[in-house]
Amino acid sequence: MQLSLFGINHTSAPAGVRDAVAMTAEEIGDFVGQYRERIDAVQELVVLSTCHRTELYMGAADTAAAGKQLRDVVCTFKGVEHMHNGQYTFEREGREAAKHLFRVAAGLDSLMIGEDQILGQVKDALAVAERCGAPGSLLTRFFHAAVHTGKRVRSETEIGRGAVSIAYAAVGMATKVFNDLAQHSVAVVGAGETGRLVGLHFRDQGPAQLFVLNRTFERARQLAEELGGRARPFDELAATLREVDVVVSATVAPEPVMSAEMLAEVMRERGGRPLVAIDIASPGDIDPAAGRLANLFLYDLDALGAITEQNRAQRAKEIPKAERIVDEEQRRFFQWYETLAVTPVVRALRKSFEEIGRREARKHGKQFHRTDRETLERYTQALISKLLHHPTLGLKDLDRSTPEGFGKLAAMRELFRLDADGDGPGSEGDGESQ
Amino acid sequence: MIVLIQLLNVLLPLGYVLAVLNYLVIYVSRPEWSLRTVTPLARGLVAVHAVYLLLAALAFEHVPVASVWEAFTFIAFALAAVYLILEWRLRDPSTGVFLLTPVLFFQILSSAFVTRTQEVDPILQSSWFGAHVTTALLGYAAFAIAAVYGTLYLLLYRELKRKRTGLVFQRLPNLEVLARLNLNALIFGWGALTLAMLLGTAWAIGLQSRGELTGSFLLDPKFLSTAVVWVLYGSCLGGRYVRKWPSRDLAGVSLVTFLLMVASSIGINLFADSFHSFG
């Protein structure tokens, strides 16, 4: 059975085209259920669909036929035409397919290098496929290896460190001042889209209280409802600033709404309690001179932009290290994959039994007279040969290109722990596969 | 036992050199091997240090704080042990290099100059002495920790004000945690010093009543300087709780007070004649 993939992603197609073939978890279930019979050349299938990619990973004996069938049914299922001629799509086979998914899981193929979300999406894709019974031994192992790769890359490199979006950078600066935002309160000033986006990121931190202030109170109320906070009239701004620990300002006012004098007064009344002020308005809402006040940490769009730029550059430096991990894991996966042929499994099984036989003969040999030890060894060998006779014949009848044959070979390796010498990825993958 | 003590006296500074290097590697680049090994190795090292102190106490029949050099290894041990507790609480070894560097400094000085003998002033074999000096040294170790975390607070504060996200930003815990560590170390240190002064006073009064101590200990330079330190640190805590000093001010004041304390200790040891000096 061969590994292959075809798909569409942010490097091969524009957003509109990608959106047309994207599938929700329910749709993937429907797709597999409805079209299983028409994709009989596809023996195993996992669909990874996010806003940036829809990729179909398959295990098939004839990958060309399987790819064609799959392409046809996707077009029918989603009612699109443009995938037939290969426009916007890409294909990978074998090692290239493996490398692709491992890079995806590592965040190396994402628009935002090193982002975390994709790793969860890879896990979810396998879970959805498992619910439909679509993956077998090959793809299950393959996706577990991909998740393992993603985790390794994130723990052994700094590719995921540092915020690369303004909203994350804003939260990052606040959490470098305060230990736990659940103990602190946040105010969002301005109920427009920018305030909403950054407000959503702060809401996810579960602040103790969240206030929304806007010149039009009704809009403040609407956004407060969405953010799970409370609306306050705009003229309570100074009082709110005395109370909260983080203020995010994103109004469309042409002049600063928080002057340095006002903030100086606020800081005096706060008695030295730090205040993080995030100014994401353009033009700015907070007088830059306020940045000089003690215990006030002011970050405007320029500062946050510079921080994200710096983090992007930092992440880029980690790419070679991450690529090395991807290559390592790809090699390990294919070591395992290549041992799943009949001859290597038979050989490994025999070797494992003989090793056990030798060990036990050594252990108990001293209880026998020297002349009997040779007999004991011959007896052990004969016993192993007899024990392995039928399993060996059964293994030789297996067809690796069928899911059953492939599955049985994988099961033999797992049951008899034929990876125990550490050659295969078995020992590493166990944690993932449970 | 003596040979083992001498061997550990050589091995401990070497062990702390390796520990500081390991924590430095973690601060700079956080490789996986270093993150895996640093804490178990540091814990092992501190356990060996505890064994060394215990052996010294048993072999020389006094709490091993009878001279400045003996006291230094005790301070090193106390600093390292307290740091490991903090690391365990924070689950982050990033600040280890800052705490273990003074540990290494104290241990090198102690290992280089310590001479151990059973023939110490009989007064130093008293259990009062052990309790008094041990609590005082624990207090000083806590003040050193407060000074380190105060410095780290000021460093991170400056980086945040300057909008820089370099190593200091990436590796140090947030300001709130640094402020808490600074304050908690000050509270512990002040409590320990208070206890040490009470024990010392009670002991001195007892000695005076038996005629074993002549003159007023209240005028002793070391007592006076410790009292000033006690008042200064007490004022820090008063400033924090009564005057609501911001964490930044407390960090700065705790650092300055620590430097004053170190300077006065050196000055008194070098120039003043104190009954606290023992042969």
Q: Which of residues 221-260 of B touch A (CB under 8 A)?
A: 244-249
Predicted local distance difference test score (pLDDT) of residue A374:
81
Euclidean distance between CA atoms B62 and A38, whole angstroms: 88
Provide the 10 A C-beta neighbour count for residue A176.
21
Instruction: Decide: B186 and B132 in contact? Cβ < 8 Å.
Output: no
- Nearest chain B residue (CA) to A176: B174
- List all residues 6 or more positions away from A129 whose beta carbon is below 8 Å from its beta carbon: A28, A32, A45, A46, A47, A135, A139
- List all residues 6 or more positions away from A369 whose beta carbon is below 8 Å from its beta carbon: none
Predicted local distance difference test score (pLDDT) of residue B279:
41
Q: A176 and B175: CB-CB below 8 Å? A: yes
Q: B174 and A311: CB-CB below 8 Å? A: no
Instruction: Decide: A2 and A93 in contact? Cβ < 8 Å.
Output: yes
Vertex A31 angle, CA A29 and A36, to 5°: 100
Indicate whether A274 pLDDT > 90: yes
Lowest mean pLDDT among A40-44, A149-153, A186-190, A276-280: A40-44
DSSP strand pairing (A230-233 vs A296-300): unpaired
pLDDT range class, residue A429, cuts 50, 70, 90: very low
Predicted local distance difference test score (pLDDT) of residue A14:
87
Euclidean distance between CA atoms A59 and A337, whole angstroms: 12
Provide the 10 A C-beta neighbour count for residue B252.
17
Question: Which residues from chain A sit within 8 angstroms of residue B177, using beta carbons?
Answer: 179
Euclidean distance between CA atoms A159 and A114, whole angstroms: 5
A273 interfacial to chain B (CB closer than 8 Å): yes
B161 interfacial to chain A (CB closer than 8 Å): yes
Lowest mean pLDDT among A276-285, A403-412, B192-201: A403-412
User: Any idea which fold A166-312 has?
Assistant: Rossmann fold (3.40.50)
Predicted local distance difference test score (pLDDT) of residue B272:
64
Q: What is the distance in angstroms between the Cα of A294 and the nearest Cα belonging to chain B?
A: 9
- Nearest chain A residue (CA) to B161: A297
Question: Which residues from chain A sit within 8 angstroms of residue B173, using beta carbons?
Answer: 179
Indicate whether A421 pLDDT > 50: no
Are A2-156 and A166-312 equal in CATH topology?
no
Scanning chain B, the segments in alpha helix (DSSP H) are: 2-29, 32-60, 68-90, 96-113, 127-161, 167-171, 175-209, 221-241, 247-271
Span A322-346, average pLDDT: 87
Question: Which residues from chain A sit within 8 angstroms of residue B156, using beta carbons?
Answer: 176
Provide the 10 A C-beta neighbour count for residue B148.
24
**Short-list A270, A221, A223, CA closest to A245:** A270
Task: Check: pTM over 0.95? Answer yes or no.
Answer: no
**Which three-class secondary structure state does DSSP give residue B116?**
coil
Predicted local distance difference test score (pLDDT) of residue A424:
37
Name the stretches of chain B with pLDDT < 70.
118-120, 272-279
Among positive and negative, which fits the CA dihedral A264, A269, A274, A277?
Answer: negative
Query: What is the residue extent of each domain of chain A?
Result: 2-156, 166-312, 340-420
Q: What is the pLDDT of residues A213-255, one digit of tens each?
A: 999 999 999 999 999 999 999 999 999 999 999 999 999 999 9
**Short-list A279, A270, A283, A271, CA closest to A297:** A279
For tokens 């028409």, the residue is: A38
DSSP H or E segment with residue A127: helix A117-131
| CA distances, A151 to each of A117, A190, A319, A432, B170 (Å) | 12, 38, 15, 10, 20
pLDDT range class, residue A428, cuts 50, 70, 90: very low
pLDDT range class, residue A112, cuts 50, 70, 90: confident
Q: What percent of chain A has pLDDT over 90?
A: 47
Q: What is the distance in angstroms between the Cα of A117 and the nearest Cα belonging to chain B?
A: 22
Query: What is the residue extent of each domain of chain B?
Result: 2-213
A175 interfacial to chain B (CB closer than 8 Å): yes
Q: Looking at this protein, which amino acid is placed at residue B36?
A: R
Highest mean pLDDT among A13-27, A220-234, A371-385: A220-234
**Which three-class secondary structure state does DSSP give residue A57?**
strand
Euclidean distance between CA atoms A251 and A263, whole angstroms: 17
Q: Would you name the residues of A annotated as active-site residues?
A: 51
Question: Which residues from chain B sit within 8 angstroms of residue A176, using beta carbons?
Answer: 156, 160, 169, 174-175
Q: What percent of chain A has pLDDT over 70?
A: 96
Q: What is the distance in angstroms between the Cα of A6 and the nearest Cα belonging to chain B?
A: 35
Predicted local distance difference test score (pLDDT) of residue A66:
84
Euclidean distance between CA atoms A185 and A187, whole angstroms: 7
Question: Which residues from chain A sit within 8 angstroms of residue B176, using beta carbons?
Answer: 177-179
Predicted local distance difference test score (pLDDT) of residue A372:
83
Decide which of 3.40.190.80, 3.30.460.30, 3.30.365.10, 3.30.450.20 is the CATH code for A2-156. 3.30.460.30
Q: Looking at this protein, which amino acid is placed at residue A379?
A: Y
Q: What is the distance in angstroms between the Cα of A138 and the nearest Cα belonging to chain B?
A: 30
- Nearest chain B residue (CA) to A183: B176
| CA distances, A88 to each of A54, A64, A85, B204 (Å) | 11, 18, 9, 89
DSSP string covering B137-198, please?
HHHHHHHHHHHHHHHHHHHHHHHHHTT--SHHHHHSPPHHHHHHHHHHHHHHHHHHHHHHHH
Q: Is the peptide bond before B31 cis (omega within 30 degrees of 0)?
A: no
Vertex B196 angle, CA B192 and B199, to 5°: 135
Retrieve residue A92's tokens: 């990978």
Retrieve residue A189's tokens: 């000033």
Question: Which residues from chain A sit within 8 angstroms of residue B32, using beta carbons?
Answer: 155-156
Q: What is the distance in angstroms between the Cα of B96 and the nearest Cα belonging to chain A?
A: 19
Q: What is the pLDDT of residues A87-111, one digit of tens each?
A: 788 999 999 999 999 999 999 999 8
Euclidean distance between CA atoms A135 and A142, whole angstroms: 10
Q: What is the pLDDT of residues A286-313, one digit of tens each?
A: 999 999 999 999 999 999 998 888 888 8
Which of A179, A267, A296, A315 is best to mutate for the B interface (most B CBs within 10 A)?
A179
DSSP H or E segment with residue A276: strand A275-279
pLDDT range class, residue A340, cuts 50, 70, 90: confident
B160 interfacial to chain A (CB closer than 8 Å): yes
| Mean pLDDT for all residues in chain A | 87
- List all residues 6 or more positions away from A343 whose beta carbon is below 8 Å from its beta carbon: none
DSSP H or E segment with residue A411: helix A403-415
Question: Which residues from chain B sit within 8 angstroms of residue A272, using beta carbons?
Answer: 244-249
Scanning A192-298, the segments in alpha helix (DSSP H) are: 193-203, 217-227, 237-243, 260-270
| CA distances, A8 to each of A58, A89, A97, A356 (Å) | 15, 5, 13, 50
Which of B176, B243, B245 is best to mutate for the A interface (most A CBs within 10 A)?
B176
B69 interfacial to chain A (CB closer than 8 Å): no
Instruction: Decide: A308 and A164 in contact? Cβ < 8 Å.
Output: yes
Predicted local distance difference test score (pLDDT) of residue A337:
84
